[in-house]
Structure formats: structure tokens, C-alpha cells
């Protein structure tokens, strides 16, 4: 990229962020690496509005990494209710124990160390390093991906992308090719504000979050990695959530759980999956939190 093109792009993002950025998000008002780690794990696959509701309560119950490591998984799961994807709560518990035992309660400062922790992938590791330690790491997430596709990759002129996105889509030419993350990561690196990566990534994420309001077609549908999220209503995830909420109160038999699940024929399948994920266990003819 030309230096002038980078400057124009950066100015556009900074101007938007100054006027319309989400400056009051609580995890942006702290440099506490533990609190930032919690927010990043919560924000995985969960809307900001829901995290805003649950984040303060979670930190009230578990104010530091030691408190989280010492807690029982059952107590963590009770506090986690409402967030969904309960495997994240299990990963957080394991992560907290490992940080306390291996790093003396200090969140690691390197990507290699962070990515060895349960539930921490490339994006979350990069985000923690940028937001907690202001390190110029290179990473991508859905909003950042949306920004770069919108600005640097043209929308197909003749080919119509189906609702399902990349799956089954045959590119019709250079203007309709699907964009790979490695192409975007190169642009992320070239345009990164290395002096202030923390706020730069906040600005990118906020700009990307507002694009669906002004774009008729989600730019991320032009991504090679785009997948449409399945409906939660009536899904196995919803059934698993019902079971976890019930068991968070007390152990229950299979018949009791099937009744709570409105006699859903997938109840046994959900229970087996929860046991496999080590979220629950079966003892003395009853299911209970692991």
C-alpha cells in the first residue's frame, strides 16, 4: 500500500471513532489484564449488550484471577448463566488455575504463552496483548474483517453471493473472488497504528460494528471464512442451556431433566454431549455439574 492510502484510511477510522466510538465500555476503562481477559472471553460469540449485563456481576463474584481459580466450577457456572456457550466457563476455570500455578497469577505477556491457555485462540491472544499491554499485535475478528473487505475489496459487480455465503459459491472472476484472512492480515499489518494499537483496534472494531447499518449486504459474506450462525431457538444449544440451568440448582434424574426439557427426544444426546465436554457428570443415578 502507498503511504498516502494508509493515511487516508487511518484518518477515516479515527474520525469515526472520535465522534461515534463506544468510549464508555467498562473493559475499555481499565488496563487490568485479568478484567480485559474476562471481557474478551465473554465477547466470544456473544453480543456486547449481553456482556454489558453480565460482566460487572462476574467481576463482583470473581474480582481477581485467584478468586476464579479457587472457586468451584459449579459456582462459576451459576454466575456464567445467561452468557451461553458454557464451555467458555470451563475454559476460564482451567485457564485461571493454570495462570495461578504456572505464572504466579499474572496474565502472560506473549502470544505463544497465551495461546497455550484453555479457550485462548489467535484473536483473543492478540486482543489481550493489544488492549491490556498496548502491544502492536496483528489479529483479526469479525468486525475488523468487515472493515477491510468493505474498504479494500470490491463488491462483485455481476455475480450475486447467495445468502449462505461462501459455501457452494463459485467465483465468477477477479471482482467476485472470496477474500482469505491472510490477505486481510497483510492489510491489518500495513495500516496498524503501532504507537497506539489499543485504541486503533477499538476504532476498527467500532467502525466494523456499525457497517451493517449502512451496508445492504454484509461485507463478511465476501469472506472465504464466512459462515451463517444457526438459529438458537429450538437448537441443541438451547436444550443444553436448559439442562445446565436446572443442574446449577441441584442434581437431577434423567426423567426430571427430560420433563424440564419438554420431553425433547434429544435430551439424552444433549446430556451425553455435556458429559463429553466435562460440564456435567453422572453419579448415583443423577446428573450434576462436574
| Residues annotated as catalytic (active site), given as ranges | 40
The 3 state secondary structure assigned to the chain is CCHHHHHHHHHHHHHHHHHHCCCCCHHHCCCCHHHHHHHHHHHCCCCHHHHHHHHHHHHHHCCCHHHHHHCCHHHHHHHHCCCCCCHHHHHHHHHHHHHHHHHCCCCCCCHHHHCCCCCCCHHHHHHHHHHHHCCCCCCCCHHHHHHHHHHHCCCCCCCCCCCCCCCCCCCCCHHHCCECHHHHHHHHHHHCCCCCHHHHHHHHHHHHHHHHHHCCCCHHHHECCCCCCCCCCCCHHHHHHHHHHHHCCCCECHHHHHHHCCCCCCHHHHHHHHHHCCCEEEECCEEEEC
Cα–Cα dist 248/250, whole Å: 6
Amino acid at each position: 500500500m502507498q503511504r498516502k492510502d494508509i493515511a487516508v484510511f487511518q484518518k477515516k477510522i479515527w474520525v469515526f471513532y472520535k465522534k461515534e466510538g463506544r468510549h464508555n465500555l467498562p473493559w475499555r476503562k481499565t488496563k487490568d489484564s485479568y478484567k480485559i481477559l474476562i471481557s474478551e472471553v465473554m465477547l466470544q460469540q456473544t453480543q456486547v449488550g449481553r456482556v454489558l449485563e453480565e460482566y460487572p456481576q462476574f467481576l463482583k463474584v470473581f474480582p481477581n484471577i485467584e478468586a476464579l481459580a479457587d472457586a468451584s466450577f459449579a459456582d462459576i457456572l451459576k454466575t456464567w448463566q445467561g452468557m451461553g456457550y458454557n464451555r467458555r466457563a470451563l475454559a476460564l476455570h482451567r485457564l485461571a488455575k493454570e495462570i495461578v500455578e504456572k505464572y504466579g497469577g499474572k496474565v502472560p505477556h506473549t502470544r505463544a504463552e497465551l495461546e497455550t491457555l484453555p479457550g485462548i485462540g489467535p484473536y483473543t491472544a492478540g486482543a489481550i496483548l493489544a488492549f491490556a499491554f498496548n502491544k502492536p499485535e496483528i489479529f483479526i475478528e469479525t468486525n475488523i474483517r468487515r472493515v477491510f473487505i468493505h474498504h479494500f475489496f470490491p463488491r462483485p459487480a455481476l455475480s450475486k453471493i447467495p445468502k449462505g455465503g461462501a459455501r457452494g459459491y463459485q467465483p465468477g472472476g477477479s471482482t467476485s473472488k472470496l477474500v482469505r484472512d491472510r490477505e486481510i492480515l497483510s492489510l491489518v499489518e500495513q495500516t496498524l497504528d503501532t504507537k497506539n494499537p489499543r485504541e486503533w483496534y477499538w476504532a476498527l472494531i467500532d467502525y466494523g460494528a456499525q457497517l451493517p447499518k449502512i451496508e445492504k449486504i454484509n461485507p463478511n459474506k465476501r469472506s472465504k471464512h464466512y459462515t451463517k450462525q444457526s438459529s438458537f431457538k429450538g437448537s441443541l444449544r438451547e436444550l443444553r442451556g436448559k439442562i445446565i440451568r436446572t443442574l446449577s440448582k441441584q442434581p437431577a434424574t434423567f426423567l426430571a431433566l427430560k420433563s424440564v426439557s419438554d420431553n425433547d427426544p434429544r435430551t439424552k444426546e444433549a446430556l451425553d454431549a455435556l458429559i463429553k465436554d466435562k460440564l456435567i457428570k453422572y453419579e448415583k443415578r443423577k446428573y450434576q455439574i462436574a
